Amino acid sequence: MPKECFFLTKMHGPQGNIDPEVYGDTALISNLPWLMQHFKPGMYIKSIDGHSLMDDDFEKDHLDGLRLHLTDGTIKPQPPMGLIGSSMPDEPEAFKKILHYSKNDQPTSISLLFDNYSICDIILRRANGKEESLSPDNADCMLELDEITERSYALPKETPLVGFHSISEEEGMDSLGLILFDSLDKQCQTPLKYNPLETLDQKHEFVLDAYVEKNITEKEKARADALEAILSFKNIKDARKKQKSLKKQILALNKEQPI
């Protein structure tokens, strides 16, 4: 798919929006190259894995990585999407939490939770209001605690969640942003008949991720910023209030700022 079909929200962390170009000690990890090569309209989330490192007691309830799995609804397996953040190679199954979804039961909103250092948990909500955490035990990453802050987004079907991008270290995710698909634009209804990154296949994963994201235009960034403002909400009451007008606002965005 053309990269223009994907909205990338800013990567947010405890210190606010993080610019990867001035953050030299960590690596940019992005699902965008995978999406450009493998995504097809109609794909949806099959599952999301939450990974937590268990080196010591301090880390036991801290989300350090996640992996999103997409499906086209067939039994044909999809190439694995890259891990965002970190995970131990021999991580016990008990320390990987998996949320399963179906075509008619997709996440309707997402909240990114931060402590003073990094992303510490992610909360996803279903249409029935059920909230689920990606960490196995988020006792030290709850909004009731003074040092925990959150950033929340609605996930309407017009712009479904299809990936993530992050500034990550070995200990986890310093920042995290969403990748959303533009399901309304006519240019995004049919996948490309060729691999747009074919000439770059030999590049290292981190190099390819950085290359693709550096080529996002100012116009594409402006569209993504406008969508992020539409989808973000402060609390559940605010989300319910905005829900009724989301489609109308997204349609207006596509008309005012087309691909």
How confident is the model over 31-78, as pLDDT tens digits? 999 999 999 999 999 999 998 865 555 455 678 899 999 999 998 888
What b/e sequence results for 230-249 when a residue is b if at least 16 CB atoms lie within 10 Å of its CB, and e otherwise?
A: bbebeeeeebeebeeebeeb
Tell me what pLDDT residue 24 has.
Answer: 47
Of residues 90 and 50, the one with the higher pLDDT is 50
Q: What tens digit of pLDDT does each residue of 92-108 get?
A: 544 788 999 999 999 99
Query: Could you give all domains of the chain from N- to C-terminal order, each with its CATH number?
Result: 3-256 (2.100.10.30)
Of residues 236 and 30, the one with the higher pLDDT is 30
Among 134-138, 148-152, 159-163, 194-198, name the one with the lowest average pLDDT.
Answer: 194-198
- Phi-psi region for residue 26, left (φ > 0), alpha (ψ -120 to 50) or beta? beta
Of residues 30 and 242, the one with the higher pLDDT is 30
Q: How far is CA 132 from the centre of its chain?
A: 16
Q: What tens digit of pLDDT does each residue of 8-37 get?
A: 999 998 866 655 555 544 588 999 999 999
* pLDDT for residue 204 is more than 60: yes
- Phi-psi region for residue 206, left (φ > 0), alpha (ψ -120 to 50) or beta? alpha
Banded pLDDT at 217 (limits 50, 70, 90) = very high
Tell me what pLDDT residue 76 has.
Answer: 84
Query: From CA 172, how far away is CA 53, in angstroms rounded?
Result: 9
In the chain, what percentage of residues exceed pLDDT 70? 85
